[in-house]
Amino acid sequence: MAELCKISFPGSEFVPITLEYHKNLSEHLTIQNSPVLFGCRTGICGTCLVEVLGDIPPPQPDEQEMLETLAPNNPHARLACQLDITANVEIRRI
Ligand code: FES
């Protein structure tokens, strides 16, 4: 059986959802089930900027470069469309 990760959205009215490891958030989060908004889904528009708490892999260089521009002082900032979900995470919109 595949391992599951819980994606929760503290501070919002949305209930946690459960996804299998390595699922792409941008394919599973919608305006009905999460506070996260998506635009390009390829890591270039910044619409999906969120704060993430959880033990997931660090940003790839392209994502890191965007984060340094969009949220230079937030070590938890990530682009939701670029996340590789490998653990339970808490996600907040910034
Ligand atoms: S949706 Fe455009 S950067 Fe994530």
In the predicted structure, residue 2 carries a pLDDT above the cut 90: no
3-state secondary structure of 6: strand
pLDDT digits (tens, 9 = 90+) for 22-74: 998 999 999 999 999 999 999 999 999 999 999 999 999 999 999 999 999 99
Q: Give the residue whose CA is nearest to atom 3 of ligand 1.
A: 43
Domains in the chain, CATH or no CATH each: 4-93 (3.10.20.30)
CA distances 65 to 62, 77, 90, Å, are 5, 12, 22
Scanning 2-87, the segments in alpha helix (DSSP H) are: 25-28, 61-70
pLDDT of residue 10: 97
Best CA proximity match to 41, nearest among 80, 89, 91 = 80
66 and 44 Cβ atoms separated by less than 8 Å = yes
pLDDT of residue 80: 97
User: Can you tell me which atom of ligand 1 is nearest the CA of 80?
Assistant: 4
Q: What residues pair up with 50 in beta bridges, in sequence order?
A: 78, 93
User: Can you tell me which atom of ligand 1 is nearest the CA of 39?
Assistant: 1
Model-level pTM? 0.94
pLDDT digits (tens, 9 = 90+) for 72-91: 999 999 999 999 999 999 99
pLDDT of residue 1: 62
